[in-house]
Structure 1
Amino acid sequence: MPASVAPVGYVYTFTPNAGDQDGDQLVFSISNKPAWAIFNASSGVLGGTAGPGDVGTWANIVISVSDGSLSTALPAFNIIVVSPGGDGSAAVIWQPSDGLVGERIFALAIDHGNSQNVYAGSYGGGVFKSTNGGRSWGAVNVGLNNTSVYALAIDPGNSQIIYA
């Protein structure tokens, strides 16, 4: 899913993952596009920089794609534009890492004993593990080829055991 927060003055970008097994040209469309954003119908990229007048929730945004015969759409999502704080306030802005590009993640689990150990369950890719808080990832899929993982749990008695 796209990022749900867009701080004023920072570039927001979302690129959907889409492909056509027959190689047909894909055309994207959007409904409820935020006024501050630009949408590319060829790539599906939604991006822009919100200004102070854009603070608030931009709701029920839907990106669709069609190959001329079939079409599908992402679930509706919201983007909340937030204003940076003034003196005496603090803000944290999440920045994506280079890890798990192209994977659709449905579950996360963080090792209670070592928060740098993070597990991610993916659609069709099985389970991935990061030992550096999510900066890099490796597959931990012994015998789990093409497996979709929708839930993860770490054994409280032995953090080396993961239930998927």
Structure 2
Amino acid sequence: MKIADLLGGVVGFVVDTAEMVVDRARRQIAWLRKPGSLLKVLCAFLAFCSFTAGLAAYSAEQRARELGDRIVVISTQCDTDKQQLQQDVQDRDARLAQIADNLRAEAEKLKALRAESAAALAGLADDLAKAETDAKAWRLRYDKRPKTCQAALEVLDEACSGQGGF
């Protein structure tokens, strides 16, 4: 068998099929042109309903696709926002932890300073108590001085009147 014969057979089949489809379409058109058939009205009504339903389904599908696309965009934005917020929370927690560490260190310094201050105050109180005791003891000795010592101090006061307080 030659390729030309095979190709001729395929072309013949396609031509015969096309003639059959065109002939069938001519007969349907001729039938539709005849007036007064209830079946034709019913077919036209069903065709119109099918066409309307098809348009409605197409419109609904387009809306569903648009909504699906919007959902994908919104979901992506939500994920991005969520990650950003989580990062912000982690950064804030890190800053708060650093601040808490600084406050703890300052509190320890303050405790040490308070302890040092309390020790200094206690030492000062002891020194003050010793000074008061020494002052009382000196005052007692001063008040019990002999008369000759008191007279010498009065002479010294007169001789050094600018100095005073002997």
TM-score by length of 1: 0.12
Which one has a larger percent helix, Structure 1 or Structure 2? 2
Structure 1 or 2, whichever has the larger Rg, is 2
| Structure with greater strand percent | 1
TM-score under structure 2 length normalisation: 0.12
